[in-house]
Amino acid sequence: MIPAPDSSLVDTFHPSPNHGERRGVSRPDCIILHYTGMPTGAEALERLCDPAAEVSSHYLVWEDGRVFQLVAEDRRAWHAGAARWRGVDDLNSRSIGIEIVNPGHPGGCPPFPAAQIDAVAALCRDIANRHAIAPERVLAHSDIAPGRKIDPGEAFPWERLHAQGVGHWARPARVDAAPPLVEGATGPEVAALRDALAAHGYDIAAGDVFDARTRVVVEAFQRHFRRARVDGVADAETLALLRALNAALRGA
């Protein structure tokens, strides 16, 4: 029997066999957004429902805004993989996964259609309202797996979701001049950067060396919050954005 959809926004429940019991939690507390990264939505749907692939998501959002549910929300879909956010490893157990039909970087990062983004925003609002998920816990796959994953990519318009009431967003009142921090740099400024990234939620240890891990985490941050230039350099704009976002989280 096909389950009843969890959301009234669902057009079709297309069951995937790739799921299991949530572990250690009774309900999700975050939403993870992905792009499918395949040439067509049909190919992505086939893979997400293929037992041999061992991958799935709770939802699939098509270019025209149609929403397919693949896995019931009370189940653990297999979408996050090896990931970590705010010290938690098993993000599959804590999250709702939404795959967005888009070929992504392999397909040249085409823009996401307006109807699709509106549907994603509406779905995120519905899920967040029902599960009391905080705005700052609507995350990119690249946020929780820096260096391993880069989706939904720098073409994904996070600011449009925020304008529709989804996700965490802030902009600094000003950007103070500061020398950029690059791979190989050391010192207290690097230590402060790493601490600020960790405070936001990224998986990065304390330290005063701008190593390769720091670079990929800065790239992940930029891919979400400074999409125009993703270069792994902690320049003045990146640092100001990080301070503004963390201040907003603290309610400062």
Give catalytic status of residue 99 as yes or no: yes
pLDDT digits (tens, 9 = 90+) for 148-189: 999 999 999 999 999 999 999 999 989 988 899 999 999 999
Q: How many CB atoms lie within 10 A of CB 108?
A: 8
The CATH number of whichever domain residue 195 belongs to comes to: 1.10.101.10
Phi and psi, residue 132, nearest 5°: 55, 50
Q: Is 29 exposed, middle or buried (0-12, 13-18, 19+ CB in 10 A)?
A: middle
* Structural domain count, the chain: 2
pLDDT at residue 148 in the model: 97
Eight-state DSSP code of residue 223: H
| The pTM of the whole model exceeds 0.95 | yes
The CATH number of whichever domain residue 79 belongs to comes to: 3.40.80.10
Question: Which member of 21, 43, 73, 99 is catalytic?
Answer: 99
Same domain flag for 109 and 44: yes
Residue 182, domain member (yes or no): no
Same domain flag for 159 and 214: no
Can you give the residue range of the structural domain that contains 131?
Answer: 12-163
Angstrom distance (rounded) from CA 11 to CA 120: 13
